[in-house]
Chain A
Amino acid sequence: MSNSIKAYVTVGAVFSAEGNLTPKYIIWEDGRQFEIDRIIDVRRAASLKAGGAGIRYTIRIGGTETFLFLEDTRWFVERRVS
């Protein structure tokens, strides 16, 4: 059975002049950087898998869709563990 854990990540983001916040890339724990190709959806949501709640960005990285959460001032992803 695969489970998910909450993995906090470093995120590079742009604040526009209008005040919008757009995440641009994620830096993984091992230092690898992944560009965010597209933001598909933004909404408030809870993460039952990782345990938390905040603003959920549905993003596409290298053809894969995944969730990126902004909880207060920290970003996290639901990292799958087997």
Chain B
Amino acid sequence: MDRTILHVDINGCYASIECLYRPEIRDKPVAVGGDVEARHGIILAKNELAKKYGVKTGEAIWQAKLKCPNLITVPPRFPLYLRFSKLARAIFRQYSDRVEPFGIDEAWIDITGCSDRTGYEVADEIRRRVFSELGVTVSVGVSFNKIFAKLGSDYKKPDAVTLFTRDNFRSKVWPLPVQSLLYVGPATTRKLSALGITTIGEIAQAPVELLEHKLGKWGYVISSFANGRDSTPVALYDSESIIKSIGNSTTTPRDLTCDADACIVFYMLCESVASRLREQGLMACGVQISLRDSTLYTFERQASLPSPSSISSDLHFAAMSLLKEHYVWQKPLRSVGIRAIDLIPASSPLQTTLFEPPQRRVKREKLELAIDEIRNRFGHYAINRAITALDPSLTNINPKEDHVIHPTGFFKAI
């Protein structure tokens, strides 16, 4: 039996919520943008009116204002958006226990066997309910697999339901451009275009060997997607995905110009990452840093830790060693990040090192746990490393609580 899968997308999520809360700007072009002063000045979301002017998510606010001089930009309020995201998921869960969020504003719902009604009817009810209960519009795609369901929610926006069936997908999905397909990005689009392939239908009909030859295993994957052969399940709600890494990055309020600057920011980030490792009961066996210079050139470097750790000073030492080894400060840095990788359970047995008595390590661990507790009770800024007082302009961030979940990979459900 075919599955019935819905994909729900909250239209212009952040901007729609801001427009709901500010009736006075609802009929004007509105975009939610990061803080220009803190150099996070890009468009995060826009409403339908701003979209008509060609305002795009991800572009700089000044670029958007060239296209739309009377664009109203408002700062983001992530806690509010997370609340809406939770409320929307609570509605979805009334239809199925298989609800898989994809970022903050999208989710798949597998309603196979959950209702006597058709997928279209259920989708339309969800669309009406979200608007009446949350005041924001959604577009819903209904299909027999996740890929086409997602295509459906993009097909007609806002406030619409699109149905792709086995009977109509050739006439409706196949004429769409290749980049509408999940996992076909700019690089793949270029390669396909070199083969004369510009539509999803052309992918579907191209010999799979040719696609595999040009694109590797992704050639096979997108060929299957284009033909509607996608059997990836919709994950059960709350099914904990296995955490592969924990990371934090930040674009600093001013460019970093020397090791001392980076040292301060890495301390902030390492504390957040280490604290989250401990929360999850994990230790890292390796550390990866990402650096972006003032010309936006970005690269990553990684190294193993001498022994697994969830202590911020260990992560910091590794991050600074990587930085010193791989960066010579020809250009200032705009953004830095650190990621704890190769995670293992904190209960794993540890090989002690010759160079540090195990008692000292236990002491350092206890010290950090005490800091966690102080912060949990009295707030993040209740206790800080003295080094962060050297330059408050760099350290006025709370990476742990400002941390927002971004869309994860599609294949995590497998």
Query: Chain A residues in contact with chain B, CB under 8 A?
Result: 3-4, 43-53, 72
Q: Are B133 and A51 in contact (CB under 8 A)?
A: no
B134 touches A53 (CB 8 A): yes
A-B contact pairs, 18 of them (CB 8 A): A3-B23, A4-B23, A43-B133, A44-B133, A46-B20, A46-B132, A46-B135, A48-B20, A48-B23, A51-B21, A51-B22, A52-B20, A52-B21, A52-B135, A53-B20, A53-B84, A53-B134, A53-B135
Q: Which one of A47, A50, A52, A53 has the greatest number of beta carbons of chain B within 10 Å? A: A53
What's the nearest-Cβ distance from chain A to residue B223, in Å? 43
Give the nearest-CB partner of B25 in chain A. Answer: A51
For the A-B complex with A51-B22, A52-B20 known, give 17 more contacts whose Cβ atoms are closer than 8 Å.
A44-B87, A45-B132, A45-B133, A46-B20, A46-B132, A46-B134, A46-B136, A48-B20, A48-B135, A49-B23, A51-B21, A51-B23, A52-B135, A53-B20, A53-B84, A53-B133, A53-B135
Q: Given the complex of chains A and B, what is the CA–CA distance between A3 and B249 in angstroms?
A: 44
Residue on B nearest A50 in the bound complex, by CB? B23
Instruction: Write the B20-33 contact mask toward A (1 if CB under 8 angstroms, else 0).
Output: 11110000000000
Chain A minimum-CB-distance residue to B133: A44
Closest to A5 in B: B23
Within 8 A of A (CB), among B1-35: 20-23
CB within 8 Å of A: which of B128-151?
Answer: 131-136
Give every chain A residue within 8 A of B23 (Cβ-Cβ): 3-4, 48-51
Residues in B with CB closer than 8 Å to A48 are 20, 23, 135
Residues of chain A with a CB closer than 8 A to B87's CB: 44, 53
Distance in angstroms from A9 CB to nearest chain B CB is 18
- In the complex, A43→B131 CA distance in Å? 13
Is B65 in contact with chain A by the CB < 8 A criterion? no
Determine how close the nearest CB of chain A comes to the CB of B47; give it in whole angstroms: 14
Given contacts A52-B20, A53-B20, A53-B87, contact A47 B135 (CB under 8 A): yes
How many of B's residues come within 8 Å of A, CB to CB?
13
Please provide the chain B residues from 81 to 135 with a CB less than 8 Å away from any CB of chain A in the complex. Answer: 83-84, 87, 131-135
Q: Please indicate the chain A residues that have their CB under 8 angstroms from the CB of B132 in the complex.
A: 45-46
Which chain A residues border B22 with CB–CB below 8 Å? 51
Q: How far is the CA of A49 from the CA of B20 in the complex (A)?
A: 9
Residues A72 and B20 in contact, CB atoms below 8 Å apart = no
User: Is B83 a contact partner of A51 (Cβ separation < 8 A)?
Assistant: no
Report chain A residues within 8 Å CB of B21.
51-52
Chain A to chain B: the 7 pairs with minimum beta-carbon distance, closest first? A46-B135, A44-B133, A51-B21, A51-B23, A53-B134, A53-B135, A46-B134
Find chain A residues with CB under 8 A from B83 CB. 72
A56 to B149, CA, bound (A): 32
* Cα distance, A71 to B353, chains bound together (Å): 55
Chain B residue at minimal CB-CB distance from A71: B83
Q: Which residue in chain A gives the minimum CB-CB distance to B21? A: A51
B84 contacts across to A, CB distance below 8 A? 53
> Cα distance A50–B23 when bound, in Å?
7
Residues of B contacting A44 with CB < 8 Å? 87, 133-134
Q: Report how far A46 CA is from B132 CA in the complex, Å.
A: 6
Residues of A within 8 A of B135 (CB): 46-48, 52-53
Q: How far is the CA of A43 from the CA of B136 in the complex (A)?
A: 16
The answer for the CA separation of A68 and B297 in the assembled complex, in Å, is: 53
* CB contact list, B53-99 vs A, under 8 A: 83-84, 87
Look across to chain B and name the residue whose beta carbon is closest to the beta carbon of A4: B23
Minimum Cβ distance to chain B for residue A5 (Å): 8
Whole-angstrom distance between the alpha carbons of A4 and B23 in the complex? Answer: 9
Q: Whose C-beta in chain B lies nearest to the C-beta of A52? A: B21
Cβ distance B213 to chain A, nearest Cβ, rounded Å? 52
- Whole-angstrom distance from the CB of A41 to the nearest CB of chain B? 13
CA separation between A46 and B137, bound complex, in Å?
Answer: 12
Which residues of chain A have C-beta atoms less than 8 A from B131's C-beta?
46
Q: How far in angstroms is the closest Cβ of chain B from A44?
A: 4
A49 neighbours in B (Cβ, 8 Å): 23
